[in-house]
Amino acid sequence: MDWRILVAAPLVISLITFLAYRSDKRRAEAGKWRVPESTLHAAELAGGWPGAFVAQRTFRHKTSKVSYQVVFWVIVLSYQFVAVDSLIGWRFTKQVLHLARHSQKETKATKKWPQEPGISLCRVAERGALHVGI
């Protein structure tokens, strides 16, 4: 992939998000139809969160609505998590995938247990059929 696309795409998405915030602020001041919050969040999630951050500070828009800010910061922190995880060789992602695969194997193994009426997990564990590994 061309490096210019990798640089330009987030900048363009951030600019579009910035302009959407500006439009929403102007519409709010004029009492007109607003840009839905879901649209603004979708733009942030698509990579426009830096533009959204700058627009919030520039226009003092959407900064005092707590429910909006919670979603915004979850999006930002998600991007930061992915960035850090990629820098450390996807360590967290690999660990989660490993645990998910291990959990699936245990789930498949539990389906093979004999179905005895009234059997408890304690009795199954006593029989050695329950294996928990971390």
pLDDT band at 15 (very low <50, low <70, confident <90, very high): very high
Copy the structure tokens of residue 126: 């006593």
- From CA 72, how far away is CA 124, in angstroms rounded? 46
The whole-number pLDDT of residue 116 equals 54
The whole-number pLDDT of residue 103 equals 83
Pick the more confident residue, 81 or 134: 81
Residue listed under structure tokens 């820098």: 87
Q: What is the pTM of this model?
A: 0.72
Within 10 Å of residue 74's Cβ, how many Cβ atoms? 13
Copy the structure tokens of residue 49: 């969160």
Copy the structure tokens of residue 63: 């900064």
Does 60 score more than 80 pLDDT?
Answer: yes
- From CA 21, how far away is CA 72, in angstroms rounded? 13
The whole-number pLDDT of residue 102 equals 86
- From CA 109, how far away is CA 73, in angstroms rounded? 40
- Cβ atoms 47, 10 nearer than 8 A: yes
Domain boundaries, the chain: 1-87, 89-134
- Cβ atoms 63, 41 nearer than 8 A: no
